[in-house]
Amino acid sequence: MRAIENLFQSPVVVAASSLSLADDGLFPEERAHVENAVAKRRAEFGTARMLARKALAELGAAPVPLVPGPDRAPVWPQGYTGSMSHCADFCAVAVARSREVRSLGLDVEDLRQLDPSLLELVLTPTERRWLQAQPEDVRPMLPITLFSAKEAYYKCQYPITRGFLDFQDVELAIDPGAGTFEARVVRAGWSDAVARLGGRFVVADGRVHCGVELPQAGA
């Protein structure tokens, strides 16, 4: 979990665990949301809610249902913001008080080679040229890091803009040695508040973890 804590500089609480069925711990509204889902999906959904309530409790929040909105994005209690992510058998949640952090984006991915057929979909031409210039021994695992960084950025910007972006709309400048990146929207007319955001990534325990935060002004 320390890998995730290191992703954020703002006052953020994180919780993480392996996936498990948690149907009995869900509110009725939450159970109704996944009652027809397969066991794996229920485990993803339930584990995320258990972890989110645990993290929110550390900030003083009372336990409440966390049912996604019509756009499938998490709806956080008034006064809080957060982000959820899961991969094959792991789930992580990051939450913060909205008076300190305006928005968060967290993504976790199993460390793996991205299918070559996806490279042109995920990476911009500039990113593909950058990839080819990297040392051959690290090159195979960099695309999944770029993928995860874009996912984390997207999750952070979405509550601000409610706008959808394709992978090609976001271009990254990444520093593998420092574990940092900057995401820049190359589509014209995007909100200045999130058009360029910095983030961090950590590779640990067979996963890549990426985080992006938008602190409140003056926080």
Please list the ranges in the chain whose pLDDT falls under 50.
Answer: none
* Domains of the chain and any CATH numbers: 2-98 (3.90.470.20), 107-215 (3.90.470.20)
Specify the pLDDT at position 3. 81
> What pLDDT score does 219 carry?
64
Cα 197 from Cα 62, distance rounded (Å): 31
| pLDDT value for 92 | 98
Residue with tokens 């070559």: 116
pLDDT in tens, 64-95: 999 999 999 999 999 999 999 999 999 999 99
Query: Which residue from 16, 219, 218, 21 is spatially nearest to 106, judged by alpha carbons?
Result: 16
Give the pLDDT confidence score for residue 140 in this predicted structure: 94
What does the pLDDT read at residue 217? 85
The long-range contacts involving 170-176, CB below 8 angstroms and separated by at least 24 positions, are 171/124, 171/126, 171/127, 172/127, 172/146, 174/130, 174/142, 174/145, 174/146, 174/149, 174/201, 176/134, 176/138, 176/142, 176/145
> H/E element holding 211?
strand 207-215
Task: Report the 3 state secondary structure along 24-54.
Answer: HHCCHHHHHHHCCCCHHHHHHHHHHHHHHHH
How far is the C-alpha of 172 from the C-alpha of 91, rounded, in Å?
25
Q: What's the rounded Cα separation, in Å, for the pair 201 and 198?
A: 10
